[in-house]
Chain A
Amino acid sequence: MSQSISLKSEHKANELFTTFYVGNDFFGIEVMKVQEVTGSPRIISVPLAPKFVRGLINLRGQLATALGLHELFENKIQNTENQMSVVCKLDGNLVSLIVDSIGDVVEVNGKNFELPPDTLPPNIKPFVKGIYKMEGQLLSVLDLSRIGKELSPTMEQNVS
């Protein structure tokens, strides 16, 4: 991925990210990968599903699977009010990432990119593709394909 970023930075030094917060942590997804951001939707829970699968959402007649990033990252800070949904398309399926709050769309420069440090907590690290150093804070770029793997159980079996 770092390769494609460097490639892009040749044409256009800056990249746009949709940013959001999970607890106090600051995350971002490439703008082009986000379909839309909606307010807290009505989630139909799916009994027996893993905890991080919050349920299904009716997104204007299409089904989206709601993933609680809070639960996925095992974030300790409790905040379930005013959660927002970031809708992305993953392997042809709609996925709604439930986040605590939405930030701005930020423009970052490829030269401020760095791989995530090894000491990140193990439940977050696999999902972070890299870090952008911004003024005042660090932006963690989410690896959507890794989250997609979490949703395809065959891959999980390979790991175990």
Chain B
Amino acid sequence: MAHVLKLLTENQYTQEKVENIYRDIHSLKGAAFLYSFNEIGVLAHKMESQLEAVRDEVRAPTKIEIDAFYIYLHRIEKHLKEIFSDNENGNENPEKGKLAQEVPQAVINKEKMSSELIPKIEKMELDKIQPQQQVKSKEKEAEGNSTIRVAVSLLDNLMTLMGEMVLVRNQVLQFSSQSEDLEFLNLSKRLNVVTSEIQGEMMKTRMQPIGNILNKYNRVVHDLSSELHKEIHLSLFGSETELDKSLLESIKDPLTHIVRNSCDHGIETPDVRLKSGKNKFGTIAIKAYHEGGQVVIEVSDDGKGLHKENLIKKGLERGIITSAQVPNLSEKEILNLIFAPGFSTAESVTSVSGRGVGMDVVRTNVERIGGSVELESVAGKGTTTKLKIPLTLAIVPALIIKCSGETFAIPQIKLEELVRVDPSSHENKIELLHGVPVYRLRGRILPLVSLNNVLKLNSDKEKNQAYNIAVLNADHCSFGLIVDEILDTADIVVKPINRLLKSLQVYSGATILGDGSIALILDIVGMSKTVQLANDKDAGHSSEVNSKNQLQNIHRDFQEFLIVRLNSPTMHALALNDVYRLEEFPITRVEVTNKMRVIRYGQSLLPIISINSLMGYGNENLEKNEKVRRKETLSVVVVEKAGLLYGLEVDEIIDTISTDIVVETNLALQKGTFGNLSMPDQVIIVLNAFEIINLSFPETTVKPVFNSGYSSLVSAKGKNLQILLVEDTVFFRRELSKILKSDGHEISIANDGMEALQILESNPTKFDLIVTDIEMPRMNGFELAKSVRGNKALSAIPMLAISSKADKNYTDKGLKAGFDIYIEKLKPETLLKAVATLSLPRKVA
């Protein structure tokens, strides 16, 4: 329908055409009233009477009238849509549906008829527009009569089945070539031809003519030109060019943006145009065509073009370029400034464009689908924007290489160049820089990585052969990948691989090569990351084992504390492992429920515990803390215990420290503390966050959880045991072993599950009990328990889990994994009781 009016806008007016439109509107009105769609009826009536004037006076409609028609049409469309959606929602009125079907029919009829009309006025335009319209009317007919909707997934399935069919065909052909049966040969030939044809047609099913989206711009341009008081014609070429449907969708927005830009910035107002000797009408042309395996969409306008001086000025203003760079800029670089974020050449921001978010978004969107944007502009003559879009998404050009007999593919986008290094030549060789291979590429040092090493393959390649280096570009850093053999380039079809393999960070997919074998596609960016990691590790290995252990030990012996100020002259500290988050709340957010202070925290309430009142420091102001007190915020250390969060209120959160000083527990201690930390300049009291929470909320104490065979803790002193203590945190390791030793047990220590398992396997009979943390690197407590239980030699050793994570989820999991008892971390009494319990022989349940 919009199409009809477009013709009118262009003054291609004929009496016959007006008659046609008039008739259509009239029948639309009739149908609308018949099925009591009064709104549409009234609108149609208004249109009709307006058109009547035009018809009777036998003149071209004025611009105002045409605008009015567009508005009416728009409203009718809206109503129709509403009716359709009502209909889909199972509306009870069947008549509505009938009309809904009938009305579009009328609309379509009208479009058909009018497009068959031959424009009379504006003969200049005639040649251009005529063939285009014929194409359109054909399309319209096709759409109206013989299209069906098909789900994309169905098409995909058909494609894969097609692939299978092609393979079977190949087998049949191979078989028939050995056969002497003439009839069979004949049949297989025919099968061959038909299959190839089906394959070709199948490929076309996903393609859609680009005209489907281009036609929408008629309206965009019309609306904009009336809004901007300009006169703009839009001409479309090659709208039958076909493109993959998903690509079509994703170029819609960038294209809209470019068209809007052309209307607003490109085309001048009519008086300016006349002054500069141009036609009053500005023209925007959108052309679509195939070129070199890509689809090119060209948007050109005959407007004022881009002024380089303006671009440079703006670029300097926005700090995108510096004045030193200006003389060196090539024409292309200057034009490309327009793609920089925040760039806009419009003098003022209008509702249409000029906010400067435009062209960089266009470029990112187009590049996301593997396309590119080019810009050409002649000042005073116009601007042309070219979008180059690949035909489909799934096909990627790649370099096929070989390493240790396995085939891999490298996407061409990541590939910069290929270098061959002959080790016999002296000038051109691989050098070792601190044990790392590098290569001087045109004076630049290029780090080298061997694919064999990255993938831990055993290369059978002889040394002293020439090296093949693929220079790759990963996130702006280049590196050279040494491969055994470079085979070929090929267009490959990317097939996804499952998440487990993707998580290796080395592969982005896989592809099936022409001979049916599989090649993994290397993920260059991911690989550059793993390479850095691997190198770190390698450096560790190469140094002496002893020194490495020492280093690790030194590193591990540091324990981190959070230093907080309380209402006391002494500083206090919390083990940083216990801290879940640090928060500052305005005092006003504190609310009171059940005599307890709480703060709404995320989805739940965070109970606030004042360490001051708990430790007996009082809440009265000490003079020197006055400043702190007057603050209107509450400093809170959030601690997670058994799956719940608690807020410990402190006066001030000061800092974190990392120290290897041991916490002294010899002094008689207050409840809620671990001991003292004797720093060189001061003594810091180390708080036990969990005990503090227990003291405030006795009911939250997590009861030990038992596996079958044990039912309660025994307080009796058991015999002295050989205990393997598994704990990754230095601080707790020391605490735990101290507690256990105090009860007369002998302790061996492992830093994590992996180490524990090694110790156990080398000495399966030594230990009477395993006490282990849950959260540990490399191998956690659950895994350790499973492994121990799965090992016949070890499965009889009792296991005690001790963790700060003691909510039901964890304890259940623990029991399932094979722990005998699961207790909450660091309550010495409970720990000793649990150990004693486990030292007794297991009761038969």
Chain B residue contacts of A93, Cβ below 8 A: 498
Q: Which of A1-9, A48-56, A102-110, A134-142 contacts B (4 or more CB under 8 A)?
A: A48-56
Interface residues of A in 36-72 (CB under 8 A from B): 42, 44-50, 53, 56-58, 60-63, 65
Give 1 or 0 for each of B766-798: 1 = CB within 8 Å of chain A CB: 000000000000001011001001100000000
The distance from the CB of B746 to the nearest CB of chain A, in whole angstroms, is 29
Chain A residue contacts of B406, Cβ below 8 A: 44-45, 47
Known A-B contacts A61-B163, A122-B786, A153-B503; A46 and B520 likewise in contact (beta carbons under 8 Å)? yes
Q: What are 11 of the A-B contact pairs (CB < 8 Å)?
A: A46-B520, A47-B506, A53-B500, A58-B516, A61-B164, A63-B496, A63-B497, A65-B497, A121-B790, A152-B498, A154-B499
Count of B interface residues, CB-CB < 8 Å? 34
> Is B495 in contact with chain A by the CB < 8 A criterion?
yes
> Is A47's CB under 8 angstroms from B457's CB?
yes
Interface residues of A (CB under 8 A from B): 42, 44-50, 53, 56-58, 60-63, 65, 93, 121-123, 150-154, 159-160
> Is B500's CB under 8 angstroms from A159's CB?
no
> Is B783's CB under 8 angstroms from A61's CB?
no
> Is A63's CB under 8 angstroms from B504's CB?
no
Question: Residue among A61, A62, A63, A154 with the most chain B CB within 10 A?
Answer: A61
> Is A63's CB under 8 angstroms from B518's CB?
yes
With the chains together, A154 CA to B500 CA distance in Å?
9
Interface residues of B in 488-537 (CB under 8 A from A): 495-501, 503-504, 506-507, 510, 512, 516-520
Q: Which of A48, A152, A159, A160 contacts B455 (CB 8 A)?
A: A48
14 more CB-based (< 8 A) A-B contacts, given A47-B506, A58-B517, A122-B786: A44-B518, A45-B406, A47-B406, A48-B504, A53-B500, A60-B163, A61-B166, A61-B512, A65-B498, A121-B790, A153-B499, A154-B499, A160-B780, A160-B782
The distance from the CB of A62 to the nearest CB of chain B, in whole angstroms, is 6
> Is A122's CB under 8 angstroms from B790's CB?
yes
> Is B504's CB under 8 angstroms from A49's CB?
yes
With the chains together, A61 CA to B496 CA distance in Å?
13
Chain B residue contacts of A160, Cβ below 8 A: 780, 782-783
- Closest chain A residue to B504, Cβ basis: A48
- Closest chain B residue to A62, Cβ basis: B160
Known A-B contacts A44-B518, A56-B518, A61-B164; A50 and B500 likewise in contact (beta carbons under 8 Å)? yes
The distance from the CB of A11 to the nearest CB of chain B, in whole angstroms, is 29
Chain B residue contacts of A150, Cβ below 8 A: 500
Interface residues of B in 444-494 (CB under 8 A from A): 455-457
> Is A63's CB under 8 angstroms from B783's CB?
no
> Is B194 in contact with chain A by the CB < 8 A criterion?
no
> Is A63's CB under 8 angstroms from B512's CB?
yes
> Is B499's CB under 8 angstroms from A56's CB?
no
> Is B220 in contact with chain A by the CB < 8 A criterion?
no
Chain B residue contacts of A121, Cβ below 8 A: 790
The distance from the CB of A37 to the nearest CB of chain B, in whole angstroms, is 17
- Closest chain A residue to B408, Cβ basis: A47
Chain A residue contacts of B503, Cβ below 8 A: 153
> Is B501's CB under 8 angstroms from A53's CB?
yes
Interface residues of B in 160-187 (CB under 8 A from A): 160, 163-164, 166-167
> Is B499's CB under 8 angstroms from A152's CB?
yes
With the chains together, A121 CA to B795 CA distance in Å?
11
- Closest chain B residue to A159, Cβ basis: B782
Chain A residue contacts of B501, Cβ below 8 A: 46, 49, 53, 65
> Is A44's CB under 8 angstroms from B504's CB?
no
> Is A153's CB under 8 angstroms from B500's CB?
yes
Chain A residue contacts of B520, Cβ below 8 A: 44, 46, 56
Chain B residue contacts of A60, Cβ below 8 A: 163-164, 167
Known A-B contacts A56-B518, A61-B163, A122-B790; A47 and B455 likewise in contact (beta carbons under 8 Å)? yes
The distance from the CB of B776 to the nearest CB of chain A, in whole angstroms, is 9
With the chains together, A153 CA to B789 CA distance in Å?
24
Known A-B contacts A63-B518, A160-B780; A46 and B507 likewise in contact (beta carbons under 8 Å)? yes
With the chains together, A150 CA to B498 CA distance in Å?
11
With the chains together, A125 CA to B160 CA distance in Å?
36
The distance from the CB of B333 to the nearest CB of chain A, in whole angstroms, is 42
With the chains together, A122 CA to B783 CA distance in Å?
10
The distance from the CB of A3 to the nearest CB of chain B, in whole angstroms, is 21
With the chains together, A50 CA to B167 CA distance in Å?
32
With the chains together, A93 CA to B500 CA distance in Å?
12
Chain A residue contacts of B782, Cβ below 8 A: 159-160
With the chains together, A101 CA to B510 CA distance in Å?
28
> Is A152's CB under 8 angstroms from B500's CB?
yes
With the chains together, A151 CA to B790 CA distance in Å?
22
Chain A residue contacts of B496, Cβ below 8 A: 63
Q: Which of B160, B497, B504, B510 contacts A61 (CB 8 A)?
A: B160
- Closest chain B residue to A52, Cβ basis: B500
With the chains together, A50 CA to B503 CA distance in Å?
11
The distance from the CB of A103 to the nearest CB of chain B, in whole angstroms, is 27
Known A-B contacts A47-B406, A47-B455; A63 and B495 likewise in contact (beta carbons under 8 Å)? yes
Chain A residue contacts of B498, Cβ below 8 A: 65, 93, 151-152
> Is A151's CB under 8 angstroms from B500's CB?
yes
Give 1 or 0 for each of B78-113: 1 = CB within 8 Å of chain A CB: 000000000000000000000000000000000000
With the chains together, A60 CA to B512 CA distance in Å?
10
With the chains together, A35 CA to B516 CA distance in Å?
21
With the chains together, A7 CA to B167 CA distance in Å?
41
With the chains together, A42 CA to B500 CA distance in Å?
21
Question: Residue among B167, B457, B496, B500 with the most chain A CB within 10 A?
Answer: B500
Chain A residue contacts of B457, Cβ below 8 A: 47
- Closest chain A residue to B506, Cβ basis: A48
Q: Which of B160, B497, B783 contacts A56 (CB 8 A)?
A: B497
With the chains together, A154 CA to B520 CA distance in Å?
22
The distance from the CB of B323 to the nearest CB of chain A, in whole angstroms, is 51
- Closest chain B residue to A65, Cβ basis: B498
Chain A residue contacts of B495, Cβ below 8 A: 62-63
With the chains together, A49 CA to B520 CA distance in Å?
12
Chain A residue contacts of B512, Cβ below 8 A: 58, 61, 63
The distance from the CB of B709 to the nearest CB of chain A, in whole angstroms, is 13
The distance from the CB of B143 to the nearest CB of chain A, in whole angstroms, is 33
> Is A49's CB under 8 angstroms from B517's CB?
no
> Is B167's CB under 8 angstroms from A123's CB?
no
Q: Which of A45, A63, A122, A151 contacts B510 (CB 8 A)?
A: A63
The distance from the CB of A74 to the nearest CB of chain B, in whole angstroms, is 9
Known A-B contacts A60-B163, A122-B786, A151-B500; A48 and B510 likewise in contact (beta carbons under 8 Å)? no
With the chains together, A55 CA to B419 CA distance in Å?
31
The distance from the CB of A29 to the nearest CB of chain B, in whole angstroms, is 19
Chain B residue contacts of A48, Cβ below 8 A: 455-456, 504, 506
The distance from the CB of A116 to the nearest CB of chain B, in whole angstroms, is 13
- Closest chain A residue to B457, Cβ basis: A47
Chain B residue contacts of A159, Cβ below 8 A: 782
The distance from the CB of A27 to the nearest CB of chain B, in whole angstroms, is 19
Q: Which of B455, B456, B499, B517 contacts A151 (CB 8 A)?
A: B499
The distance from the CB of B473 to the nearest CB of chain A, in whole angstroms, is 23
The distance from the CB of B630 to the nearest CB of chain A, in whole angstroms, is 46
Top 7 closest A-B pairs, CB basis? Answer: A47-B455, A61-B163, A153-B503, A44-B518, A122-B790, A151-B500, A63-B495
With the chains together, A53 CA to B499 CA distance in Å?
12
Chain A residue contacts of B517, Cβ below 8 A: 42, 44, 58
- Closest chain A residue to B777, Cβ basis: A160
Chain B residue contacts of A122, Cβ below 8 A: 786, 789-790, 818
- Closest chain A residue to B451, Cβ basis: A47
- Closest chain A residue to B708, Cβ basis: A118
> Is B500's CB under 8 angstroms from A49's CB?
yes
The distance from the CB of A28 to the nearest CB of chain B, in whole angstroms, is 24
With the chains together, A49 CA to B499 CA distance in Å?
11
Chain A residue contacts of B455, Cβ below 8 A: 47-48
Chain A residue contacts of B506, Cβ below 8 A: 47-48
With the chains together, A60 CA to B498 CA distance in Å?
18
> Is B790's CB under 8 angstroms from A61's CB?
no
Known A-B contacts A56-B510, A63-B497, A150-B500; A47 and B163 likewise in contact (beta carbons under 8 Å)? no
With the chains together, A115 CA to B523 CA distance in Å?
43
